[in-house]
Structure 1
Amino acid sequence: MSERIQLTIALCRIGFYTCLRTLCCKSYPTPRPEYDVVCIGLSGAGKTSLLSRLCSEDINDIVPTTGFSIKAVPFPNAVLNVKELGGADNIKKYWSRYYQGSQGVVFVLDSTVSDEELEACRCELHLALQHPQLCTLPFLILANHQDSPAARAVAEIKKYFELELLAKGKRWIMEGSTINDMEAVRQRFSLLISLLEDKALQPGRL
């Protein structure tokens, strides 16, 4: 057998084993971690619209959530399975039934509401922060509709809610949001994901 034929056979064998190794040892992308998050807030806060936009869904026919809905919200490094609870008076009294298994909390409030409604938001947030099934979880608090001229500043709401005192020693983030700036909303949720990812994070305010 000539050297040329031997060389051809050797090259063919190398090619065959290379292809076989590639097929057998193909690495698949590491699956993104999933976290179960509960989303609460009074009716009209904008919870459904924000979550729908995060999922690239049409929001033209949005209706208030009755009961609850679940959306898998994808991010580059994680998937948030968000359980959104309706905020009507006849629904929110049952919120605590859906808290079990949650790993994080998203609380959405309307920055443009009346003083009376803002006080109602304050009470609901305080109850959530102290609830046995939520008190150790990271919170993302969104002061929504910040693009409205009637919106209160985030710093004003934070002071009124007494978060520095009430949430001392807890992991929480409070930021403004608007459906007209979804990139900023995604950044807010990414901060929450960072808290969910970092198991060793010492409790403290961000």
Structure 2
Amino acid sequence: MDYLCFRALCCKGPPPPRPEYDVVCIGLTGAGKTSLLSRLCSEGSDGIVPTTGFSIKAVPFPNAILNVKELGGADHIKKYWSRYYQGSQGVVFVLDSASSDEDLEAARNELHSALQHPQLCTLPFLILANHQDKPAARAPNQVKKYFELEPLARGKRWILEGSAADNLVAVKESFTQFIGLLEDKDTEPARI
């Protein structure tokens, strides 16, 4: 009996590896992409500067690892975004929900472009309305209406959630839902 208990406890072998997904993260400069990803990786938030070019982070979750390719959001970089889309299995789009109307319109145009891009249009999207902790933040439902997501994203797999860098629990939950979309290719479209 002792041998069977020992064997059951000690000889199972390593746990199966977590699946890995390659994800592209886009959004305008100042949307909070780098801050959110740094917090998810348990990195310090001191001295965070906007990404110039791109960075890659392996973001661990209990059920998967996301290899996130974050692309800088400056105007001179956005025109090269599509060169980094190949091989992506999902898209994280971060927008500043407390931004000016002009910046929100620019974010809307970039999201529409991404949703219609041939390399991204069939992939799951996680749309984060970031900076929900700021007084001028628009609620996710306001963003959904302003961005006209219902007609544009019809038939696509997407999630729209509010986020803030200081509410890591909610951000992790959003990513957990997103991983669910990545895992299940047959998920029903459009969940909010």
In which range does the TM-score fall when normalised by the shorter chain?
over 0.9
Tell whether 2:136 aligns with 1:150: yes
Aligned to 1:205: 190
2:124 and 2:27 map into 1 onto residues whose CA distance is: 16
CA–CA distance in 2 between the matches of 1:133 and 1:188? 23
Among 159, 168, 175, the alignment partner of 1:182 is 168
State the shift of 1:200 in Å: 2.8
The Cα offsets for residues 124-161 of structure 1, whole Å up to 9 and x where unpaired, read as 00000000000000000000000100111111111010
SS in structure 1 of the partner of residue 155 of structure 2:
coil
Cα gap change, 1:20/1:112 in structure 2, threshold over 3 Å: closer, same or farther?
closer
Stretch of structure 1 that moved more, 90-99 or 153-162: 153-162
| Residue 70 of structure 1 pairs with residue 60 of structure 2 | no
TM-score under structure 2 length normalisation: 0.94
Partner-residue secondary structure (3-state), 2:36: helix
Aligned ranges 1:63-142 → 2 under 5 Å: 63-142=49-128
Query: Aligned-pair distance for 1:201?
Result: 2.3
Change in 2 beyond 3 A, CA 1:27/1:159: same
Q: Which has the larger radius of gyration?
A: 1
TM-score, normalising length: structure 1: 0.88
How far the C-alpha of 1:19 sits from its partner, in A, is 11
Give the structure 2 partner of residue 50 of structure 1.
36
Q: Percent identity?
A: 75
Mapped to 2, the partners of 1:67 and 1:91 lie a distance apart of 7
Looking at structure 1, the residues matched to 17 and 108 of structure 2 have their Cα atoms a distance apart, in angstroms, of: 38
Q: Which amino acid in structure 1 is aligned with residue 93 of structure 2?
A: F
CA shift, 1:199, in A, is 2.4
Task: Give the gaps of 5 or more residues in structure 2.
Answer: none
Matching residue's letter, 1:127: S
Residue 31 (structure 1) aligned with residue 11 (structure 2): no
- Alignment partners' CA distance in 2, 1:189 and 1:81: 13
Corresponding residue pairs, total = 191
Alpha carbons of 1:100 and 1:19: their partners in 2 closer, same or farther (altered >3 Å)? same
Please provide the CA RMSD for this pair.
1.9
Runs of 5+ unmatched residues, structure 1 = 1-13
